[in-house]
Amino acid sequence: MMQRYGDGGAKLLPNFLAKCANPIVFQNTFINFAIVMSNNIKKISVKKDFSLLSPSKDNVITPDFLFVTDSDKAGRMFVQTFQPYQLSEGRFIRVIGGKARLLANLKMYDLYFGTVVCLPPAAIIEYQSISDYFKIQAFSYDTMPQPFGFDKVTVLRLRETDFVRTGDYINLMKKVLGKDTYSIRTLQLLQTALFNDLHHIQDIEIQDKTPDLKSTRAEDVFNRFIDLVTEFGSQHRRIDFYADKLFLSPNRLSTVIKNYSGQTVMDWINRQTILQAKILLKHSDLMVYEIANRLHFQESTAFVRFFKNQTGMTPKDYQGN
C-alpha cells in the first residue's frame, strides 16, 4: 500500500486531475500532460491517467507520480513549437541529449547536454525548436520548501562532476519509486537535497564571477523588469507602472532596457500580453471579448487590432489555426 503525503516537505504532484472530469489529453516531448480547467484558464498539468505510457525500469509511472528518467523509452511524444503553455506544477529538467530552444517567462534558453532547468509553477513556456534526439530526465513538483525552491526560471550549465551528481539524485529517486511501497517523505527529502545542491552550485558561480559593475546594474534592472512584466504584464501596459516599481524614471528605465536588450520596454510588455492572449485563445473557453476584458483592453476591437498588429492574424484566425 502506498504511503500518503506526510506533513512537511513538498508534494511531488498535486491532485489537479481529481478536479477535472474528462480532461483534454496533450502530449509533451518529455512528459505527458493534461490541460486542466481552472477559473476558465486551462493550464498544463501532469496527467494522472498514465495509460498512454508504459512503465519500465527507466520510467516509474504510478497513478500519483510521473517520473521520467529516459524520455526515449517513455515513447516519442510531441509538443508544438511556437505555442505557449502555462504550467500548473513546477518542472525539473535534466538534458541528456539533443538540443532545444525554450522561451520561459520571456527569456530564451538553449538546452543541451549538461543543462538543468528549474521551472516554477505558473511559468509560461514556449518551445522555439526541438531536435530529433532531444532527451531529458524530468520530474514535476508542486511546491518546494524555502529556501530550497526556485521561484524563478533557473537554467544552469553544469560542470561534468556536478552534472553527474544530479544524475545520482535522479537514480536514487528512481530506486525509491521502484519499490513496492515507498516513502513520500524520502522522495521529498531527495528533491530538497537536489535543489539545495543546485543553489550551492549557483552561489559558487556567482562568487567566481568578476563582473563589470555597470553591466551588472543593467542586468539586474532588466531581470527585475522582466519578472514584473511576467507578473503584471496582462494587467499593466504603461511604462510608468514598471518605472515606479523599480524606483526609476520612465525615461531612465526605457534607456536601460533598450541598451541592455535591444528591445524597448513596450516590446517586452507587448510580448507578454501576446503570450497571455495566445494561451487564453488556445486553452480556455473564453470568448474574444472576454479575453480582451481579462487583458484589460477597454474595447474588444482594440484587442483585435493589437493582436493582429503583433501577430499578423486576428484572434479568431489564431484560435482556429
Residue 155 corresponds to which amino acid?
V
Residue 70's nearest CA partner among 85, 83, 57, 82 is 57
Selecting from 1.10.10.60, 3.40.50.10320, 3.30.460.10, 1.10.3720.10, what CATH number does the domain 213-320 have? 1.10.10.60
- 213-232 helix and 250-261 helix, angle to the nearest 10 degrees: 110
Tell me, what DSSP letter sits at residue 10? -
Residue ranges covered by each domain of the chain: 16-208, 213-320
Query: What is the DSSP annotation of 122-146?
Result: T-EEEEEEE-TT-EEEEEEES---T
Q: Which CATH class is domain 16-208?
A: mainly beta
Classify strands 107-111 and 85-86 as parallel, antiparallel or unpaired.
unpaired
What DSSP element (H or E) covers 68? strand 66-68
Give the pLDDT score at 281: 94
Q: What's the CA angle centered on 26, arms 22 and 27, to 5 degrees? A: 140
Residue 178's nearest CA partner among 43, 56, 264 is 56
pLDDT in tens, the chain (321 residues): 333 222 333 333 233 222 222 222 222 333 333 333 334 444 545 443 334 444 555 666 555 456 777 665 444 444 567 889 888 888 899 999 999 999 999 999 999 999 999 999 889 999 999 998 888 888 888 777 677 788 899 999 999 999 999 999 999 988 888 777 778 888 889 999 999 999 999 888 777 766 665 558 899 999 999 999 999 998 899 999 999 999 999 999 999 999 999 999 999 999 999 999 999 999 888 999 999 999 999 999 999 999 999 999 999 999 887
Give the pLDDT score at 293: 94
